Amino acid sequence: MHVPPVYRRWVTCPEPRPQASLRLFCFHFAGGDASAFRLWTTQLPASIEVCPIELPGRATRRSEAPITRFPELLDKLANMMLPFIKQRPFAFFGHSFGGITAFELTRWMRRNKAPLPVHLFLSACPALHLRQQPAPRISHLSDTAFLDEIAARFGTPREVLASEDVRAEVLPALRSDALVAESYHYAPEPPLEVPISSFGALQDPEVSREEAEAWRHQTTAGFRLRMFPGNHFFLATQRRKLFQALLEDLAPQFP
């Protein structure tokens, strides 16, 4: 298969699986990068080709200028992904900030009559119609105050955010993603004809069970809520249980 250059930039594929029946596009959390899904590429079945998204301004794309406005991010990402969503069935998985991206990308695909995912997985992400009042802005704060706010909102250990490595590697991406989040505004649209699975955590200070459950109002094609042990970053600690949930919910699409 010919692999366009974009396959190593916006859309990454650490382990190409040309015979896979499904592509799973994974959208990272704020300040994160495609490496958050590194183990997914080898630990999910061969029938699934895992394609983590890598946004500019971080990790392998650190030398590129970050995007700081959500509408620009959505349009660029959608157009970069179009060649890949037309090749085979696909699903979206987004964690936290990545959940917003996955949800709005699905609605962009519908508005533009592009193929839709067979399933939408939204993890540690509140139903956006419940949060139409924006959270207080933090992108303008000093480094210390900014990281204090991140720790308070998401339960990130302060000793982690205080490390020099985090400040050097993660802080620039966190700030650009904060600007993107602050430019996002939810607009009502009809529910999607795409099944939605919502994953929450029992000790998440940022997303309540009720906010995770309210995603059921954004679909007419089936909904399931699962709550996992842990905090906002249960993505790493509950990986095996997440895999089991993904496979269970994808099974009706591939009997």
Q: Are 18 and 1 in contact (CB under 8 A)?
A: yes
Mean pLDDT of 57-85: 92
Q: pLDDT digit string (tens) for 194-213?
A: 999 999 999 998 899 999 99
Residue 233 has phi, psi (to 5 degrees) of -105, 40
Architecture of the CATH domain 5-131+188-249: 3-Layer(aba) Sandwich (3.40)
Structure token pair of residue 238: 């509950």
Tokens 């696909």 -> residue: 90
Q: Are 29 and 95 in contact (CB under 8 A)?
A: yes
DSSP letters of the chain? ----GGGGTTB--SS--TT-SEEEEEEPPTT--GGGGTTHHHHS-TTEEEEEB--SSSGGGTTSPPP--HHHHHHHHHHHHHHHHTTS-EEEEEETHHHHHHHHHHHHHHHTT----S-EEEES---GGG--SPPPP-TTS-HHHHHHHHHHHH---HHHHTSHHHHHHTHHHHHHHHHHHHT------PPBSS-EEEEEETT-SSS-HHHHHGGGGGBSS-EEEEEESSSTTHHHHTHHHHHHHHHHHHGGG--
Q: pLDDT digit string (tens) for 32-60?
A: 899 999 899 899 999 999 999 999 988 88
DSSP letters of 162-179? TSHHHHHHTHHHHHHHHH
Mean pLDDT of 70-78: 95
Residue 27 has phi, psi (to 5 degrees) of -115, 120
Pairing of strands 120-123, 223-228: unpaired
Q: pLDDT digit string (tens) for 113-164?
A: 999 999 999 999 999 999 877 678 888 888 888 888 887 876 566 666 667 7
Mean pLDDT of 246-251: 96
Q: Name the pTM for this structure.
A: 0.92
Residue partners of 35: CB distance under 8 A and separation at least 6: 52, 59
Task: Please report the pLDDT score of residue 234 as a whole number.
Answer: 93
pLDDT at 224 over 70: yes
Task: Please report the pLDDT score of residue 174 as a whole number.
Answer: 87
Task: Please report the pLDDT score of residue 156 as a whole number.
Answer: 65
Task: Please report the pLDDT score of residue 188 as a whole number.
Answer: 96
Residue from 21, 96, 142, 208 carrying the catalytic annotation? 96
Task: Please report the pLDDT score of residue 163 as a whole number.
Answer: 73
Q: Are 220 and 191 in contact (CB under 8 A)?
A: yes
Task: Please report the pLDDT score of residue 160 as a whole number.
Answer: 61
Mean pLDDT, the chain, rounded, equals 89
Q: State the amino acid at position 149 in one-letter form.
A: E
Task: Please report the pLDDT score of residue 135 as a whole number.
Answer: 75
Q: pLDDT digit string (tens) for 95-122?
A: 999 999 999 999 999 999 999 999 999 9
Q: Could you confirm whether 176 is annotated as catalytic?
A: no
pLDDT at 87 over 90: no
Tell me the domain boundaries of the chain: 5-131+188-249
Label residue 3 by pLDDT band (50, 70, 90). Answer: very low
Task: Please report the pLDDT score of residue 6 as a whole number.
Answer: 44
pLDDT at 4 over 80: no
pLDDT at 70 over 70: yes
